[in-house]
Structure 1
Amino acid sequence: MQNATGRTVSLRAAGTALVVELTEPVPRVLHWGADLGELSDADTAALSLTADGAVLNNAIDQPRRFTVWPTEADGWSGTPAQEGHLAGGAAAPGPVLTGSTHRDLAGGGGEIGIAMTDRTTGLDITVTYRLEPSGVLGVSAELTRRADAEPVPYDLARVSTLLPLPARAAEVLDFTGKWSSERRPQRRPLGHGGHVREVRRGKPGLDSPYLLAVGVPGFGFRDGEVWGVHVAWSGDQRYLAEQLPEGAGVHAAVLGGGELLRAGEIRLAPGATYRTPVCHFGWSADGLDGLADRFHALLRARPGHPRTPRPVVLNSWEAVYFDHDLDRLRRLADRAAEVGVERFVLDDGWFTGRRADDAGLGDWYVDPRVWPDGLAPLADHVRSLGMDFGLWFEPEMVNPDSDLAREHPDWILGPARGRGPTSRNQYVLDVSHPDAWAYLLERLDTLVGEYGIAYLKWDHNRELHEAVHGPGDRPAGHAQVEAFYRLLDTLRSRHPALEIESCASGGGRIDLGVLARTDRVWTSDCNDPVERQSIQRWTGQLLPPELIGSHVGAAESHTTGRVTADTFRLATSLFCHPGIEQDLTRCEPAELARITAWTALYRELRPLLHGGRQVRADLPGDATLLHGVVAADSSAALYCWARLATSAEGQSGRVPLPGLGPDARYLVRVRTDLGLPSLHQTAGPAWFTAALDGWVPIPGAVLVRAGLPMPTLNPGHAALIEVRAA
């Protein structure tokens, strides 16, 4: 029988709160969302009293409760927290509370630990709720078979982290995508049943759900209450929002996720432990920008978050591809230094046998036929010009046409009956194989040390299909991710100053698990600025700009064939961690001058761009976008007004500039450092014409509440609008 007089504990930070009642046999969540304030004993008693609903017809004979570990033992008919069995039995877990901990964090928020035990399965379970000062709630669990449990392994099928949602959370937003078109939003009503997104690619994938948000219908960037979850795991994942007709206790629905486990992947013998990935939950009363603010604050507060100014990067891929020639690359480096590049990265093509993408992958030795003196002549030249030297790797993959594959076929993932087709001419190395792991660590460690490498572009181009290994075809996806994390952690411990970029066919491995160990992500293989405006806008829902790699490519896009103006390409890249991915030695002097002005503009505005709050305007249609970065105290801002396509409307009307103080007084100007955008108008608006020549005083009430009539641009053009306090 449930005990209704449990002790209540609360976590509060940044206007959000979690309230848990330590009832028996299993504690329950009384509230997650807006801060309820300091609760007295009478207040918590009232909250507990109002947390029991009606006893329904044709239902269990007591009020249903949504517990911290919901199972059928609670009368819960939705996705359970735990699924598994002992040799076909013990399939109805019934954990009971054994203890709890509660502590506050110095900067705000706190942590609750709830310990339970399940005699049926022999499992001890600990659930940890950690509310960060940002207001983001991290939830994780640890399941350990007791040492005295029966020797049959417990086959863990699934662990789901779940939190309740109110009835007003009735619209779902998540993401899909494909190569060069990642993070495409999709919205739908939340009805009865489950909205479930499963990732079975061995990495989050180009169609990653990324962040599952549920909010009041019509929520936007700036308005509406919204709840969201992100699974911080770099392998298979599961996201869900689920609503049953009877609700979830007095709540309407649940939101959650976890690792997607393959059959037989986690078998817990006595003494063994499974730790779930952290699921990060956020709540906002101020729309998607408010939710993004919380996640950006969470990431910026990490001890390992990049603290030094993010350098302008030149990556050699779209400049030279596989045509590695020392003299050509030296000339490219010379030109890069002249325009203001601060980091030079040598991409694919430097290692043994790598003249195309069908050979050499896995043979991580500098090719003596192309680099007879090694990489030192280029690396030293780059550093003599005042730039860092970086290098591309794809450690987890192997070409069949490689010495590694020929000498160690037992290191390659695939079923014993024979591997399936290659993808991108490659297979996957079993990084969890001790010898393969040791080989990769030795090669990476040696090369980083030998050449003074400051930066690794770490790629991961194919998906993990049939990710099994050994004569028993043991599932290896979970072990692969853990070994990958261990490889990154060990390499970083040996080279603390080394920075690493997570790249996976562009944006296929972007999650907070990999970002706990890396310094930025490669957002997409597509440098087309029209595509990039959308990709970057939505990548920013989770990540702050300084973690989002964005490069300026050639006029004709490598991936789409679209031709765009350099002013638009430069303006688009400015709002992330910018770089260059084109052959500067082929650029005309006028274009080089604009690139040089762009790097100078970036260095000038870098503190604002990488320290302010991201803002996005809610506009009708997708032909135009307005986004920007506003200083934490609203004293300065930079906005991008971009047109991606033509529209039926000739005028934008007044467009409010989000994020500024309505009671402050401001000066506004249009930055013309990169040149003027192409205008589809004869003249004006008047403020815009005046702002081309210098600062124009405009009060915050006009900027924020009334808005500015924006210039009508031609498609593929953008204007940069700078604001500062008067």
Structure 2
Amino acid sequence: MITVNGDWFALETANTGYYLGVRGGLVENLHYGARVRVENSVPLREKTDIGYGGDVVYRAESAPLSLEHLCLELSPLQKGDYRAQSLSLVMPGGARTADFSFVCARRLEGSVPPEGMPAARGGAETLALDFSTPEGVAVTLFYTVYPDCDVITRRLCIKNGADAPVTLEKALSYQLDLPGCDYVLSTFPGAWARERHEACVPLTPGAHVFGSTTGASSAFCNPFFMLCAPDATEFNGDAYGFNLVYSGSHMGCVEVSPWGKTRVAAGIQPEGFAWTLAPGERFETPEAVLTFSRAGKNGMSANLHAFVQEHIVRGKWAKKDRPVLLNNWEATYFDFNERKLLSLAKDAAKLGAELFVLDDGWFGARDNDAKGLGDYTVNRKKLPGGLAGLAEKVHALGLLFGLWFEPEMVNADSGLFRAHPDWIVQTPGNVPATGRNQYVLDLCRAEVQDYIIANVNATLASAPIDYVKWDMNRHISDNYSPALAEQGRFSHSYILGLYRVLQSIVEQNPDALFEGCSSGGNRFDLGILCYMPQIWTSDDTDAYERQLIQAGTSYGYPPSVMGCHVSASPNHQTARTSPIESRFNVAAFGVLGYELDLGRLTPAEQKAVAAQIAYYKAHRRLFQYGRFLRLCPPFGKNKCEWMMLAPDGSEAVVGEYLRLLRPNAEKPPLRLAGLAQDALYELEVRPQVVDVRTFGSLINQILPVKVNAGGHLMHAVADRYMMPCETERYAAYGDLLMYAGIRQKQAFTGTGYNENVRLMPDFSSRVYYLRRVDAALRTNGEEGAL
């Protein structure tokens, strides 16, 4: 909660505290981290009785105080603080000096969201700190406390109270100064089909700057990042997490000063940004999210996961179980008709899926990605009965019906472009660049926003559509809009236009489940999640690569918002081959879907898929809303281990993933986490199968007769039969499972095989289900086994 105590303030959550002190016209950060008991603020204050050589004295009356040595919440500009700052502006008369001085503190009830932008909901209290310059330029810092998940949000509001215009050149959401610099910075960069891989660097003197200039939060660098103690692990040590409720170009900066302090700042990307405020006008920054945990990276992630689920995702689907879907894209691409779609839907229903999604290609002349985009007229050659006719037939199969859109884009070969060629983002005198044969519609223009709102809503009203996949398949270029007198406003104005569009469409269609998408995970951020309860994590569905993508994503976002699909093998993005069971075992730790032609699977594979879907449904609440734990570091290792634990600790699912097989490698016990030490648990491996062709000619060492491993007989058998994997079932107390771990059955070593051998070739995996039992279980002679 928030305490205002004379010249110091405390913002406290269940386990963290953010303590601020007033020093003249300045506000300094006294401590942000573990919650502490503060009798008075003196022990926490920076001592500045004698100046350092080279110091610039801030004010004569506070000599020898220099700004460089303080942990400041807002820095006066060009007054001796030479670190990166949250604001840069041009004052009336052209000067860039702005002597912000603290005015007062105000305690407000609940949250105070920025105008025109998404923000977290349900904050307990907000602290507003007001500052002003002699010219009348006012800045308010907002801090909102979320005690239940150890999160504090921050943002700025700048109001021009001067009698002449003021131009903002940088307006970040916050700056946070920490008194030391012994941290490791983790950012989550990537590219298309390789999103959010963790990149770690120990802090050194100087600035580490990262972010996006693409017009979106971007696969290049996610807005989420973290600072951890060098000895922090997944389970122990200090870990800070930072994020933005924003979907556009952004910047983060972590700077170590010459005096060993660390400044963290993030917000709207300042490159190309300029926003002039006339007298009386104001500008609000996006909301930033801060958290801290002493329980390592998993503790930090748990805070953010709870925050996303409780305060970001909203609407009908906020905490509702998400359906298992089949998307037709990789099964058909643009080549489909109603008959083919219904065949896919029938296979999906037969195997237990709950939602059929029609992807790109249903409208206009959309037979490839060079035409049709921007038109919302249904292609009657493909769908004679229109969307309504298809949706009714899909519903008759017992499935929900979903539809793909890409409303922010247009092809040159489209009715929309021919009618409104001026609606695209383009700079006068320049030929606009294309991406995926398409242009970006200018969402800075109200008439373009209105067109998208009207046409998407009309389409959704034309048929019973239960799900919407909202895509955005290219970066923004040629940044210019005739709707803007000041082009430095373009990138942020586009995002404000997008938010107006999304707000209008989501409000009009409250029952639909929306999923965000942008060339996969190119716009995976908290801003989108305020409108859409889940986001397509990546176009790359390769089981190996998805381990890295989903693990990286998990540091800042819960599995309940990650769209994860089982696709064909070899994979369409990597051409890598992986077992169908491993593809499921990875995708199950998220919102499960399938994206392949189920009818082309063998009868044995179809049976495996039906069993997968049934297993997922039986444990769906765990997979989607359990507490996610990374049991080992997911990067730089040859394995990956995940765990989803029920909130009350009564059950869990555990994923174990092998990347590349090392013959006769060491096999440490499988150790779990988060269990009650004195509780008894039953642990059982998910029943899995393996293609008999995996053995190759080794099959002749198992069978009583010799067969041609590549012959017709072998393939005929494999089409209809898959070999069961080993069974394992144990009863053990929580302390054993966490501190000693279980030693699984022997892995295949090339010298023999039977029902007690774990066949674990490259990219193999296992999933275990764990449940707490109330009484001791009888053993059958094998110690610890049931």
Same fold (TM over 0.5): yes
> Separation in 2 of the partners of 1:103 and 1:405?
48
Displacement after TM superposition at 1:723 (Å)? 1.6
Displacement after TM superposition at 1:649 (Å)? 6.0
CA contact (8 A) 2:31 2:178 kept: no
Match of 2:605 among 570, 585, 591: 591
| 2:711 corresponds to 1:697 | no
| 2:98 corresponds to 1:93 | yes
Structure 1 runs (4+) greater than 4 angstroms displaced? 48-54, 103-109, 673-682, 691-694
Displacement after TM superposition at 1:108 (Å)? 8.5
Partner of 1:295: 304
Per-residue CA deviations over 1:665-712 (Å, capped at 9, x if unaligned) read: 222111115669989999xxxxxxxx9556421122221112233564
> SS at 2:619's partner residue?
helix
Partner of 2:341: 329
> Separation in 1 of the partners of 2:36 and 2:79?
26
CA contact (8 A) 1:192 1:242 kept: yes
Partner of 1:721: 768
| 2:668 corresponds to 1:653 | yes
CA contact (8 A) 1:183 1:210 kept: no
> Separation in 2 of the partners of 1:104 and 1:490?
27
Alignment of 1:609-620 (within 5 A): 609-618=623-632
CA contact (8 A) 2:564 2:590 kept: yes
> Separation in 2 of the partners of 1:33 and 1:644?
37
Partner of 2:462: 450
Per-residue CA deviations over 1:412-458 (Å, capped at 9, x if unaligned) read: 10110123331111111001212111111111010111112121111
Displacement after TM superposition at 1:264 (Å)? 5.4
> Separation in 2 of the partners of 1:195 and 1:204?
18
Match of 1:62 among 59, 62, 65: 65
Displacement after TM superposition at 1:51 (Å)? 6.1
Q: How many residues align?
A: 703
| 2:156 corresponds to 1:141 | yes
Per-residue CA deviations over 1:480-516 (Å, capped at 9, x if unaligned) read: 1001011010111111112211101000001111111
Partner of 1:687: none
Q: Once the two structures are aligned, what percentage of the paired residues are identical? A: 29
**2:618 is aligned with what amino acid?**
E
**1:445 is aligned with what amino acid?**
N
> SS at 1:525's partner residue?
coil
| 2:445 corresponds to 1:440 | no
Displacement after TM superposition at 1:75 (Å)? 3.1
Displacement after TM superposition at 1:653 (Å)? 1.7
CA contact (8 A) 2:181 2:203 kept: no
Displacement after TM superposition at 1:569 (Å)? 0.8
Per-residue CA deviations over 1:196-251 (Å, capped at 9, x if unaligned) read: 1031000011122442211111423222211121122111100111111124xxxx
CA contact (8 A) 2:248 2:268 kept: yes
> Separation in 1 of the partners of 2:569 and 2:82?
56
Displacement after TM superposition at 1:618 (Å)? 2.4
Alignment of 1:489-508 (within 5 A): 489-508=503-522
Partner of 2:9: 9
Match of 2:140 among 112, 121, 126: 126
Partner of 1:520: 534
> Separation in 2 of the partners of 1:410 and 1:103?
45
Gaps of 5+ in 1: 683-690
Per-residue CA deviations over 1:521-550 (Å, capped at 9, x if unaligned) read: 100001110111111111111111111000
> Separation in 2 of the partners of 1:310 and 1:537?
20
Displacement after TM superposition at 1:604 (Å)? 0.8
| 2:360 corresponds to 1:313 | no
Displacement after TM superposition at 1:262 (Å)? 4.4
When structure 1 is superposed on structure 2, of 72-81 and 93-102 the one drifting more is: 72-81
**2:100 is aligned with what amino acid?**
P
> Separation in 1 of the partners of 2:6 and 2:82?
24
Q: CA RMSD in A?
A: 2.5
| 2:353 corresponds to 1:341 | yes
Per-residue CA deviations over 1:342-385 (Å, capped at 9, x if unaligned) read: 11110000010100001111112212333233112211011112
Q: Is the alpha carbon distance of 1:676 and 1:109 closer, same or farther for their aligned partners in structure 2, counting shifts above 3 Å? A: farther
CA contact (8 A) 2:208 2:255 kept: yes
**1:642 is aligned with what amino acid?**
Y
CA contact (8 A) 2:77 2:96 kept: no
> Separation in 2 of the partners of 1:68 and 1:87?
24
Displacement after TM superposition at 1:50 (Å)? 5.4
Partner of 2:657: 642
> Separation in 2 of the partners of 1:673 and 1:396?
43
CA contact (8 A) 1:662 1:705 kept: no
> SS at 1:183's partner residue?
coil
> Separation in 2 of the partners of 1:674 and 1:272?
65
> SS at 1:639's partner residue?
strand
Match of 1:260 among 269, 272, 284: 269
Partner of 1:205: 218
CA contact (8 A) 1:16 1:34 kept: yes
Partner of 1:555: 569
TM (norm. structure 2) is: 0.85
Per-residue CA deviations over 1:606-625 (Å, capped at 9, x if unaligned) read: 12222221111225942111
**1:650 is aligned with what amino acid?**
A
Q: Is the alpha carbon distance of 1:434 and 1:104 closer, same or farther for their aligned partners in structure 2, counting shifts above 3 Å? A: closer
> Separation in 2 of the partners of 1:492 and 1:455?
11
Q: Is the alpha carbon distance of 1:359 and 1:105 closer, same or farther for their aligned partners in structure 2, counting shifts above 3 Å? A: closer
Displacement after TM superposition at 1:152 (Å)? 3.1
**2:462 is aligned with what amino acid?**
E
> SS at 2:297's partner residue?
helix
- Larger-gyration structure (1/2): 2
CA contact (8 A) 1:9 1:20 kept: yes
CA contact (8 A) 1:669 1:692 kept: no
When structure 1 is superposed on structure 2, of 485-494 and 630-639 the one drifting more is: 630-639
> Separation in 2 of the partners of 1:647 and 1:152?
67
TM (norm. structure 1) is: 0.92
